């Protein structure tokens, strides 16, 4: 059962080869067994998962089921789930039980999916290694000494280890794609505004986007449609129809023009990873695509631009965590200032504080023009670069990350080194374009991810292009040895 | 050493939308603490603001009423600071691009002259919650019912030169927002608040002096007192060789003075940046036209109309148009009396006089008046047709107010009809003359002042009902002999 994709699980469930409760139980058992090793989950929702399973089975029986009924998933612990702790990987929200469901959670519950639990993540989505979580680091299922990537490390590790068939995640600078790459799974960050941010705890409001980490493009296509759509509670969600992503999967690729981002094949890219990427691109040529070099000259400015804009927005978004209404409050505060200082000082981890301070600085009087305003202008240049590129090609491809998974602790003391992990992914967030990462090979026995970007609202195209690759390769079906057994010890 | 006062006012008016500016919570005043605060108002993790279009309509309405440019594309910005009554740790406001740009308001000064006060801008923002310090020992209670209520912040140019001008401007804006039905103007409940920026400079100087901002003034009277106190204080400081500190001061109505705010002033760096959760507000010509179509006749327009068609003085017109309801009441009375200039003046005197006094005494709004326009016009028409004198009318008015009856009913039941029969008046005069030979002799020998005595006595003899004009005329004749 653990090797089955979501699509296969759906077919077999409807063919009654097993029941929803059997499937859910088996996953809950795997989750429990894997937890000491992976630490992929912060909260396991066994009771409610079983209750949802029972309801799903009833729906399957009486014919009221939809295509996703009974299928299990995990939610990154950044999505508010009513009645369940929603921690965002932080001490600050360790005691926070959300009174409401995020729109994404609401929609997937309504579709009949079964929530297994909340996955571990970098604190407040700030990180590229899942080492900043209050709940401890997540370990890469391919090698427990290594990081799974971040900030959606828990979701990526859970899917890679097949302890959850699919998981929601979020991506602000690469937090879906980079862990997907490091864990050998498929990740998709939709167009900004495609998926509602209501109930998705905000890090950087103009960059955050909810998406999926899945075993395949086909699996992602099944769930993405149900997650997407205009939400009147999110003023930045876009009112444009949601296509049937599954229906678009099999469209022929012939004539596909793939742009290779010149700036991505630079000295920062590991040579073996580059070789792996170029091999994958040859597969696309075999499928009838043509490769074209494109230049996005402003793209190298992505990292500094992002590390001005994102901290600025986060410094404001995280101001609400003050110990007054919910969340962590320090013991016996002497006065208001003491309450604020100690609640925030004790509630937040180092990376979060670092970004809040950076953000406060770049917005402050005398610096706003030089930093924030300038960064937003550069952002427009990056946006224009993407727009122009998409007049020349259909999709852009390149590496997702400059290297494969690194050791836990290796970069923790050098924030800038850590930030450079996002060098290839950040541009898509700044421009709001959709982007995916699909596994395309191994280097030193560790997964490598191929990144695919498209124009705004081209999720269907991306999934179609990814699916074509996954039909002729099997990288996406590889499972780490330690987890490639039905029963985990 | 002569000093010039320079005043600018910042008015915060709560817009009377039914729900808050960025959430669906009700805006009603006076509910139990925190009973009108949703997850969005409470800034729970993951929530997002959604703009209430009605707030935009009301802001545009205000802008059109003060002849301002409406900004085609205005932007919400976050004003970041920490305070427990500000749940998000930032207030959503507008900074560089406010919805209403430059406009103006004309005020009438005491001497009757007009002055144009510039309005720099008006923008939309959300109100904060309230901090309650009483009855909680060493703790402060935070009530977030008010958090998220829409405000329009109206910033004037520093065009006012005296506390009186400031009050005139404030009252005019107050009247206007109530005419437009965008704010109930209730200063006690905090739906209309005013901060005054006050500075002084030598007459003739072109640079502005350092200003102090006075907060916490919630009545027109206090505005005047606070400004006067502050002006005197600043002059004192400067004449003593000191410098005025740019600071925020609170007005203490009990002591009648302004005080520097005790708290360590938070650094005023609000780190404004456009709110990424909200789209820019785009208003096109069609939207503006649709709002313009809902504008009522504005106070100045109504007053001008009263002056032109009813012949009222500008002062009277101003008083009678201080609220839309009062203007409507007055206009109906005048209309029922035939809208000529004579009756217009009569009606003006009564509405602004006796009626206003009665409303004041009983703490009622014009809409709650115990005498409606129809019944008042009924009373006034009896003055016009000489049935009763103005003096008697006052008594009838009081009886109408107390008993709720029509003028005619009271005049009838109390037999208050004026005596206009010449014969009857002459008889009464003869009687009085006969009863007072001494005074008669004195008057005829030159003591003109005794005329009043005879008027009084005759009036008394007729139970106050003699027509005063006729009485005077006939008395003169008879006393002359």
Q: What is the reported pLDDT for A449?
A: 98
A56 touches chain B (CB under 8 A): no
pLDDT greater than 70 at residue B202: yes
Nearest residue of A to residue B270, measured between CA atoms: A364
Burial class (CB in 10 A: 0-12, 13-18, 19+), B263: exposed
Report the alpha-carbon distance of residue B94 to residue B102 in Å, rounded: 15
Phi (first) and psi of residue A166, to 5 degrees: -160, 155
Query: How far, in whole angstroms, is CA A164 from its chain's centroid?
Result: 14
Q: Mark which residues 236-265 of A lie under 8 Å from B by CB.
A: 236
The token pair at A321 is 């965590």
> Which one, of B299, B304, B365, B373, lies nearest residue B336 by Cα?
B373
Question: Which entry of A53, A133, A151, A196 is annotated as an active-site residue?
Answer: A151
Report the alpha-carbon distance of residue B342 to residue B304 in Å, rounded: 18
* ipTM for the assembly: 0.96
pLDDT in tens, A449-471: 999 999 999 999 999 999 999 99
CA atoms B385, B391, B396, B402: torsion sign: positive
Report the alpha-carbon distance of residue A416 to residue A217 in Å, rounded: 32
If pLDDT is split at 50, 70 and 90, which confidence band does A415 have?
Answer: confident
Cβ-defined contact of B277 to A235 (cutoff 8 Å)? yes
Give the residues across from B38 on adjacent strands: none
Report the alpha-carbon distance of residue A42 to residue A121 in Å, rounded: 9
The token pair at B294 is 């809902």
pLDDT greater than 70 at residue B232: yes
Give the C-alpha distances (Å, rounded to integers) separating A206 from A52, A171, A237, B74, B424.
Answer: 34, 11, 11, 18, 92
Give the Cα-Cα-Cα angle A136, A141, A143 (nearest 5 degrees): 90
Give the C-alpha distances (Å, rounded to integers) separating A1 from A9, B137, B333.
Answer: 8, 62, 88
Contacts of A369 in chain B (CB under 8 A): none
pLDDT in tens, B75-92: 999 999 999 999 999 999
Cβ-defined contact of A235 to B276 (cutoff 8 Å)? no
pLDDT in tens, A112-150: 999 999 999 999 999 999 999 999 999 999 999 999 999
Report the alpha-carbon distance of residue B168 to residue B175 in Å, rounded: 11
Cβ-defined contact of B142 to A324 (cutoff 8 Å)? yes
> Which one, of A64, A438, A444, A145, lies nearest residue A284 by Cα?
A438
Would you call A175 a catalytic residue per the annotation? yes
The token pair at B199 is 């500075």
Identify how many contiguous H helices and E strands chain B contains and give both numbers: 16, 15
In eight-state DSSP terms, residue A295 is: -
pLDDT greater than 80 at residue B263: no
Report the alpha-carbon distance of residue B285 to residue B70 in Å, rounded: 10
Average pLDDT over chain B reads 92
> Which one, of A98, A90, A93, A147, lies nearest residue A122 by Cα?
A90
CA distance B147 to chain A (A): 14
Report the alpha-carbon distance of residue A455 to residue A462 in Å, rounded: 9
A198 touches chain B (CB under 8 A): yes
If pLDDT is split at 50, 70 and 90, which confidence band does B262 have?
Answer: low
Half-sphere exposure of B7 (CA within 13 A, CB side): 27
The token pair at B79 is 């004003």
E strand residue ranges, A248-358: 257-261, 290-294
Give the C-alpha distances (Å, rounded to integers) separating B105 from A92, A157, B172, B193, B325.
Answer: 50, 65, 8, 18, 21
Asked if A118 and A81 touch (Cβ cutoff 8 Å), the reply is yes
Report the alpha-carbon distance of residue B14 to residue B22 in Å, rounded: 14
E strand residue ranges, B277-327: 281-282
Cβ-defined contact of B50 to A199 (cutoff 8 Å)? no
Q: What is the reported pLDDT for B143?
A: 96
Q: Mark which residues 386-415 of A lie under 8 Å from B by CB.
A: none
Report the alpha-carbon distance of residue A54 to residue A61 in Å, rounded: 11
The token pair at B344 is 């217009």
Half-sphere exposure of A339 (CA within 13 A, CB side): 17
SS3 B374: helix
Asked if A132 and A351 touch (Cβ cutoff 8 Å), the reply is yes
Q: Over the Cα atoms of chain B, what is R_g?
A: 29
The token pair at A484 is 């490639």
> Which one, of A437, A426, A361, A430, lies nearest residue A398 by Cα?
A437
Cβ-defined contact of A316 to B43 (cutoff 8 Å)? no
pLDDT greater than 60 at residue A86: yes
Q: Could you give the percent of chain B with pLDDT greater than 70? A: 99
Average pLDDT over chain A reads 96
Report the alpha-carbon distance of residue A121 to residue A132 in Å, rounded: 8
Cβ-defined contact of A197 to B48 (cutoff 8 Å)? yes
CA distance B146 to chain A (A): 16
In eight-state DSSP terms, residue A402 is: S
pLDDT in tens, B143-193: 999 999 999 999 999 999 999 999 999 999 999 999 999 999 999 999 999
Q: Could you give the percent of chain A with pLDDT greater than 90? A: 93
Query: How many other CB atoms sit within 10 Å of the CB of residue A111?
Result: 19
Identify how many contiguous H helices and E strands chain A contains and give both numbers: 16, 11
Report the alpha-carbon distance of residue A390 to residue A386 in Å, rounded: 6
Question: Which entry of A76, A118, A189, A411 is annotated as an active-site residue?
Answer: A76
If pLDDT is split at 50, 70 and 90, which confidence band does B264 have?
Answer: very low
In eight-state DSSP terms, residue B17 is: -
Half-sphere exposure of A367 (CA within 13 A, CB side): 14
Query: Per mean pLDDT, which of A265-274, A344-353, B395-404 is the most reliable?
Result: A344-353
Report the alpha-carbon distance of residue A240 to residue B391 in Å, rounded: 75
A/B interface, count of CB pairs below 8 Å = 101
pLDDT in tens, A297-338: 999 999 999 999 999 999 999 999 999 999 999 999 999 999
Q: Which of B25, B34, B46, B267 to mutate to test the interface with A (most CBs of A within 10 A)?
A: B46
Q: What is the reported pLDDT for B1?
A: 67
Cβ-defined contact of A201 to B78 (cutoff 8 Å)? no
The token pair at B131 is 């901090």
Report the alpha-carbon distance of residue B103 to residue B9 in Å, rounded: 14
pLDDT in tens, B447-477: 888 888 889 998 888 888 888 888 888 888 8
Report the alpha-carbon distance of residue B279 to residue B296 in Å, rounded: 30
- Give the residue-averaged pLDDT of A168-179: 98
> Which one, of A86, A78, A124, A138, lies nearest residue A350 by Cα?
A124
Question: In which element (H, E) is residue A247 found?
Answer: helix A245-248
Contacts of B333 (CB under 8 A, 6+ apart): B347, B350, B351, B373, B376, B377, B380
- Give the residue-averaged pLDDT of A256-275: 92
pTM across the whole model: 0.92
Question: Which entry of A128, A129, A133, A175 is annotated as an active-site residue?
Answer: A175
Question: In which element (H, E) is residue B259 found?
Answer: strand B257-260
> Which one, of B10, B8, B9, B28, lies nearest residue B18 by Cα?
B28
The token pair at A91 is 């001490």
The token pair at B280 is 């820019």
- Give the residue-averaged pLDDT of A22-48: 98
pLDDT greater than 90 at residue B222: yes
Strand order in the sheet with B76-80: B90-94, B76-80, B273-274
Asked if B114 and B128 touch (Cβ cutoff 8 Å), the reply is no
Residue ranges of alpha helices (H) inside A325-393 are: 336-347, 350-363, 374-392
Q: What is the reported pLDDT for A396?
A: 98
- Give the residue-averaged pLDDT of B439-447: 88
> Which one, of A210, A231, A207, lies nearest residue A311 by Cα?
A207
Residue ranges of alpha helices (H) inside B18-162 are: 53-65
Give the C-alpha distances (Å, rounded to integers) separating A34 from A6, A25, A37, A73, A480.
Answer: 20, 14, 5, 16, 13
Cβ-defined contact of A96 to B47 (cutoff 8 Å)? no
Report the alpha-carbon distance of residue A364 to residue B273 in Å, rounded: 10
**Residue-wise DSSP of A216-241:** SHHHHHHHHHHHBS--TT-TTS---P
Cβ-defined contact of B39 to A100 (cutoff 8 Å)? yes
Q: Which of B25, B33, B48 to mutate to test the interface with A (most CBs of A within 10 A)?
A: B48
Question: In which element (H, E) is residue A442 found?
Answer: strand A435-443
Would you call A76 a catalytic residue per the annotation? yes
């Amino acid at each position: 059962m653990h090797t089955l994709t979501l699509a296969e699980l759906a077919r077999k469930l409807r063919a009654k080869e097993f029941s929803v409760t059997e499937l859910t139980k088996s996953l809950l058992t795997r989750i429990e067994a894997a937890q000491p090793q992976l630490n992929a989950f912060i909260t396991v929702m066994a009771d409610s998962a079983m209750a949802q399973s029972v309801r799903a089975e009833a729906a399957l029986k009486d014919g009221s089921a939809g295509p996703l009924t009974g299928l299990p998933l995990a939610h990154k612990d950044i999505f508010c789930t009513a009645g369940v702790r929603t921690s965002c990987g932080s001490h600050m929200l360790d005691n926070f039980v959300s009174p409401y469901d995020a729109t994404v959670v609401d929609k997937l519950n309504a579709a009949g999916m079964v929530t297994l639990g909340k996955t571990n993540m970098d604190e407040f989505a700030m990180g590229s290694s899942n080492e900043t979580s209050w709940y401890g680091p997540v370990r890469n299922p391919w090698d427990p000494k290594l990081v799974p990537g971040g900030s959606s490390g828990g979701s990526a590790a859970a899917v890679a280890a097949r302890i959850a068939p699919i998981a929601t995640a979020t991506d602000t600078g690469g937090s879906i794609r980079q862990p997907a790459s490091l864990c050998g799974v498929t990740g998709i960050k939709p167009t900004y505004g495609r998926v509602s941010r209501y109930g998705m705890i905000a890090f950087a409001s103009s960059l955050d986007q909810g998406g999926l980490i899945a075993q395949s493009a086909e699996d992602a296509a099944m769930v993405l449609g149900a997650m997407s759509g205009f939400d009147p509670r999110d003023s930045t969600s876009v009112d444009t129809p949601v296509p049937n992503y599954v229906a678009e999967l099999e469209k022929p690729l012939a004539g596909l023009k793939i742009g290779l981002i010149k700036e991505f094949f630079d000295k920062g890219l590991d040579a073996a990873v580059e070789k792996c990427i170029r091999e994958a691109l040859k597969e696309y040529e075999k499928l009838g695509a043509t490769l074209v070099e494109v230049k996005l000259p402003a793209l190298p400015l992505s990292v500094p631009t992002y590390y001005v804009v994102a901290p600025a927005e986060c410094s404001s978004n995280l101001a609400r965590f003050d110990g007054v209404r919910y969340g962590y409050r320090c013991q016996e505060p002497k006065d208001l200032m003491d309450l604020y200082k100690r609640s925030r000082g004790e509630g937040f981890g180092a990376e979060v504080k670092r970004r809040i301070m950076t953000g406060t600085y770049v917005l402050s009087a005398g610096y706003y023009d030089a930093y924030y305003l300038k960064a937003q202008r550069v952002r427009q240049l990056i946006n224009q670069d993407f727009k122009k590129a998409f007049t020349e090609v259909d999709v852009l491809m390149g590496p997702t990350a400059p290297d494969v998974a690194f050791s836990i602790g290796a970069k923790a003391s050098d924030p800038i080194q850590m930030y450079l992990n996002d060098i290839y992914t950040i541009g898509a967030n700044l421009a709001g374009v959709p982007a995916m990462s699909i596994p395309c090979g191994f280097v030193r026995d560790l997964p490598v991810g191929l990144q695919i970007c498209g124009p705004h609202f081209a999720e269907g195209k991306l999934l179609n292009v990814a699916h074509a690759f996954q039909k002729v390769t099997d990288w996406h079906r590889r499972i780490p040895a330690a987890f490639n057994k039905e029963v985990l010890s | 050493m002569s000093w010039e006062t320079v005043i600018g006012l910042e008015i915060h008016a709560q817009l009377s939308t039914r729900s808050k500016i960025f959430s669906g919570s009700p805006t009603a005043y006076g509910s139990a603490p925190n009973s009108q605060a949703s997850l969005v108002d409470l800034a729970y993790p993951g929530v997002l603001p959604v703009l209430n279009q009605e707030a935009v309509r009301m802001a545009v309405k205000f802008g059109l009423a003060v002849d301002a440019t409406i900004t085609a594309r205005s932007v919400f910005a976050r004003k970041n600071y920490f305070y427990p009554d500000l749940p998000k740790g930032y207030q959503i406001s507008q900074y560089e691009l406010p919805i209403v740009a430059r406009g103006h308001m004309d005020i009438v000064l005491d001497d009757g002259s007009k002055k144009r006060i510039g309005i720099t801008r008006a923008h939309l923002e959300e109100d904060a919650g309230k901090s309650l310090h009483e009855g909680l020992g060493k703790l402060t209670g935070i009530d977030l019912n008010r958090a998220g209520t829409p405000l329009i912040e109206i910033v004037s140019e520093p065009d006012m030169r005296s506390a009186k001008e400031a009050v005139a401007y404030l009252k005019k804006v107050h009247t206007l927002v109530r005419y437009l039905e965008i704010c109930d103007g209730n200063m006690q409940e905090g739906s209309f608040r005013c901060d005054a920026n006050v500075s002084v400079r030598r007459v003739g100087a072109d640079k502005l002096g350092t200003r102090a901002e006075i907060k916490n003034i919630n009545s027109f009277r206090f505005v005047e007192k606070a400004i006067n106190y502050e002006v005197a204080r600043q002059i004192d400081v400067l004449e003593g060789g000191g410098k005025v500190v740019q600071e925020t001061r609170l007005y203490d109505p009990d002591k009648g003075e302004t005080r520097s705010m005790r708290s360590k002033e938070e650094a005023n760096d609000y780190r404004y940046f456009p709110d990424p959760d909200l789209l820019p507000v785009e208003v096109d010509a069609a939207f503006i036209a649709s709002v313009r179509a809902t504008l009522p006749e504005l106070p100045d327009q109504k007053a001008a109309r009263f002056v032109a068609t009813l012949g009222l003085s500008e002062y009277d017109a101003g008083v009678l148009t201080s609220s839309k309801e009062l203007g409507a009441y007055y206009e109906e009375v005048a209309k029922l009396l035939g809208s000529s200039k004579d009756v217009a003046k009569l009606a003006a005197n009564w509405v602004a006089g006796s009626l206003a006094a009665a409303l004041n005494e009983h703490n009622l709004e014009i809409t709650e008046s115990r005498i409606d326009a129809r019944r008042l016009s009924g009373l006034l028409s009896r003055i016009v047709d000489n049935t009763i004198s103005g003096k008697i009318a006052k008594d009838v008015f009081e009886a109408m107010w107390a008993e709720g009856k029509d003028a005619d009913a009271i005049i009838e039941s109390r037999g208050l009809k004026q005596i206009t029969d010449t014969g009857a008046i002459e008889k009464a005069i003869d009687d009085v003359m006969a009863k007072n030979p001494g005074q008669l002799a004195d008057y005829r020998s030159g003591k003109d002042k005794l005329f009043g005595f005879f008027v009084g006595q005759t009036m008394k003899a007729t139970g106050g009902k003699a027509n005063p004009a006729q009485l005077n005329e006939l008395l003169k004749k008879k006393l002359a002999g």
